[in-house]
Chains A and B, each alone.
Chain A
Amino acid sequence: MGEPVAPLTPPLIQRAALGRAIALGLWALVLLRSVADGRLDLLLRAAFHPLVALAGLLLLGLAGLQLALGLQPEGATERLRPRQAWNLAATAVLAGMLLMLPPSPSFATLAGQRPPDRTAVTAPDAELSFTLPPAQRSLTDWVRLLRSQPDPRLFDGDPVRISGFVLPQPDAPPQLARLLVRCCLADAAPVGLPVRWPPATTPPQADQWLAIEGVMALEGPPGSEQLVVVPREVQVIPRPARPLEP
């Protein structure tokens, strides 16, 4: 009977524990990354995401244990057999590919694979919307709209079809105006829109009633632009029977 032979410690690259540590660690990273970057949202309900994270942490812990085992001289005697090495390499490559080239599921793909829900009680296009096409807005509608949504860029280029009387302005071209009634006639107040009057024509006379078709345009330096009506057609009209607009 001879002396017992101490098992030889294989080199790092041939230690089975280190191979397992690498494979398990990579899969742990795959799971943890899928939780962190939101790809799981399309695959699992949010309630189950912590489970995936937990599984990733568990795998990471196992990888850590294998790593510790592989680095200890007495625990690193198990040598990688060729078949085991191939299996570990294959799974590690797969995990590595998932980390480097993550699948990118899209809502469009998901939606394409699912039957449409035709029972939705409220279709998105059936929501209440307040619409008043620009060409149907009266002069007072325009004034109210600009007070409510004062960003003039929203209305640049909108078609305009309005009527009103000519209201002279001190140190400025006359405006087209109406009387705005909030409560009753006693509180009627003039409101107007600036007009870029055609240069070749004579300026309009005060109190003259005009119908203007044109577009809204921005005027003024950037940052303090103002909307102005650019007429395409100006027509003199008689005073309307109901001159006050609602």
Chain B
Amino acid sequence: MNGKRLLRSGWLRLGLALATPALLALLQRQWLLARPPHLAGLQMVRASAGAASLQARFSRPMDLASLQAHSQLLPPRPHRWLGEGDSLLLALSPGLPVRQALSLRLAGRDLRGLELKPEPWHWDPRPRLLAVVPTAGGEQLQLREHDGRWQRISPVWPRIPVIEPLGDGSGVALVSQEPEGTMRVWRVPLLQRNLAKATGNRTPVRALPPESLDPEPLLFAHLSSNGRGQLLVQAGGLTGGEPKTSLWGPTGRPQTLSFPSSGPMRLLPEGGAVVVPGPDGLELEALPPRPPRRQTLPGRRDLSAFCPQAGRALLLRHWPDYRRSLELVEPGQPPRQLWIGSQGLVASACARGGERVWALLMEGVGRPQLSLLALNRRGQLLGRRRLSDWELEPGSGLHYDPVTDSLLVALRRLRPGPAEQPPTTAEAVRIDASSLELHPLGQQVRLVGWLPAG
């Protein structure tokens, strides 16, 4: 049989048709098998238990022990690689505050024993401080860089009564107020880069022009954001009627929500649901696209703070005899009372899943005394600091940052002498969450908050 006849043979053609793709597939497989693993993606994620976390995606399932042994963090600090397969989590162990940016050298082997080409990364998980600063002509939103420089990131408005850093670090939402009392809601997009290849340029945070979220002047507005960068705006118009609630995503048009509430709603940091205060208790409502679901916690309670660990929160309970209690909520458990007293509980904060809880208390009339309590998850007192020279700037809250293990608060210095004197302007104060030592930052502020590193 000559070659031409052979080619004409149907069997040979069928064989060739089958063998060619099989051979190609085999070659591709061998080529892929011989390729070393590479990093397919690296991003910062919200740390639930530790100080900060990175999610790494590799092209191949990696050997966890090898990554743990060969990857390096500088300055050295305890960390763990978690997970299995090609998607792994690098979690900084809690307890040691991050005081400077970290250098990460990713190295290790995959499960076949092939080496990952070492990659140096620059990682700064520390949040920046945001503050509403009184200036000539009104108030302005400013941001404090890690080196202590303050940067103006908004125009000057007559007043800025509310700020809400977006949970993914992509910006800040704020409410501006005109002298006649009308309000408007704005979003200030921010560009920040805190995780980059070590060879890349490191640029400071850049603010884009503010975007108006509602063209109509408002009577009031409450804001809440979550780790997905969603923003909940609860606003009442000047013309009366029911307040309007909108949920803004990072992009696109807002969704209108219709949950009747008796106060400010709060988005869960992990997303997917919102806490709605009602006349008979707190409601937990699922957000679209989840199917509607409501859980009720009866009683006179307010949501005081969320804990960094998902599913944990602190509630403030009001008792008929004017006492207040602080409760820790954990998944599947009834609220657990951590503290009860007749003092005013003006703010609280929480570390990890409630392992440490801080409560800012106020007692007395005329010249109320401020004190800060540190409690453990069983309600036992870990520490107390009397802030006798200070009073809390109303509405400023107590903000905990697990990365630097710091609390942030806006406090006013008390003037010696009679209580009737006009109050001083508040200043931003960082409090060491372990020693409860105060570190005034020397900046006059009205409101403060942490901008998560995005």
Give the size range of B's interface with the partner. Answer: 35 or more
CB-CB under 8 A for A145 and B84, given A122-B310, A127-B270, A127-B311: no
* B298:A127 contact, CB within 8 angstroms: no
Least CB distance, B229 to chain A, in whole angstroms: 15
A112 to B321, CA, bound (A): 56
Residues of A within 8 A of B270 (CB): 121-122, 127
Which A97-155 residues have a C-beta within 8 angstroms of B? 115-119, 121-123, 125-133, 136-137, 140-145, 147-149
* Contact among A118, A127, A185, A245 for B84, CB-based, below 8 A: A118
* A130:B284 contact, CB within 8 angstroms: yes
A130 to B275, CA, bound (A): 10
Residues of A within 8 A of B331 (CB): 125-129
Which B264-283 residues have a C-beta within 8 angstroms of A? 268, 270, 272-273, 275, 278-283
* B46:A121 contact, CB within 8 angstroms: yes
* Contact among A142, A144, A246 for B317, CB-based, below 8 A: A246
* A149:B284 contact, CB within 8 angstroms: no
- How many A residues face the partner with a CB closer than 8 A? 39
Least CB distance, B354 to chain A, in whole angstroms: 12
Residues of A within 8 A of B310 (CB): 121-123, 126-128
Residues of B within 8 A of A87 (CB): 14
Which B295-341 residues have a C-beta within 8 angstroms of A? 295-300, 309-313, 317-321, 329, 331-335
A133 to B297, CA, bound (A): 10
The answer to whether the Cβ of B53 comes within 8 Å of any Cβ in the partner chain is: yes
Q: Please, which residue of chain B has its CB at the minimum distance from the CB of A145?
A: B298
* A149:B89 contact, CB within 8 angstroms: no
Least CB distance, B319 to chain A, in whole angstroms: 5
Residues of A within 8 A of B151 (CB): none
* B296:A126 contact, CB within 8 angstroms: no
The answer to whether the Cβ of A45 comes within 8 Å of any Cβ in the partner chain is: no
Which B72-102 residues have a C-beta within 8 angstroms of A? 82-85, 87-89
The answer to whether the Cβ of B45 comes within 8 Å of any Cβ in the partner chain is: yes
* A132:B334 contact, CB within 8 angstroms: yes
The answer to whether the Cβ of B103 comes within 8 Å of any Cβ in the partner chain is: no
Query: Which among A116, A119, A144, A148 has the greatest number of chain B C-beta atoms within 10 A?
Result: A119
* Contact among A115, A130, A136, A185 for B61, CB-based, below 8 A: A115
The answer to whether the Cβ of B386 comes within 8 Å of any Cβ in the partner chain is: no
* A117:B312 contact, CB within 8 angstroms: no
A117 to B57, CA, bound (A): 12
* Contact among A118, A128, A148, A244 for B273, CB-based, below 8 A: A128
* B317:A182 contact, CB within 8 angstroms: no
Which B12-57 residues have a C-beta within 8 angstroms of A? 14, 45-46, 48, 53, 55
* B329:A130 contact, CB within 8 angstroms: yes
The answer to whether the Cβ of B364 comes within 8 Å of any Cβ in the partner chain is: no
A123 to B83, CA, bound (A): 13
The answer to whether the Cβ of B10 comes within 8 Å of any Cβ in the partner chain is: yes
* B87:A119 contact, CB within 8 angstroms: yes
* A83:B10 contact, CB within 8 angstroms: yes
* B298:A244 contact, CB within 8 angstroms: no
The answer to whether the Cβ of B294 comes within 8 Å of any Cβ in the partner chain is: yes
* A148:B296 contact, CB within 8 angstroms: yes
Residues of A within 8 A of B84 (CB): 115-116, 118
A143 to B335, CA, bound (A): 18
CB-CB under 8 A for A137 and B298, given A118-B82, A122-B310, A130-B282: yes
The answer to whether the Cβ of A65 comes within 8 Å of any Cβ in the partner chain is: no
* A246:B319 contact, CB within 8 angstroms: yes
* A148:B283 contact, CB within 8 angstroms: yes
Q: Please, which residue of chain A has its CB at the minimum distance from the CB of B319?
A: A246
Q: Please, which residue of chain B has its CB at the minimum distance from the CB of A136?
A: B334
* B317:A121 contact, CB within 8 angstroms: no
* B333:A131 contact, CB within 8 angstroms: yes
A-B contact pairs, 11 of them (CB 8 A): A121-B53, A121-B55, A126-B311, A128-B331, A130-B296, A137-B298, A141-B299, A144-B281, A185-B320, A246-B299, A246-B318
Please name the 8 residue pairs, one residue from A and one from B, whose CB atoms are nearest each other, closest first.
A244-B320, A144-B280, A144-B298, A130-B297, A119-B83, A119-B89, A181-B320, A130-B295
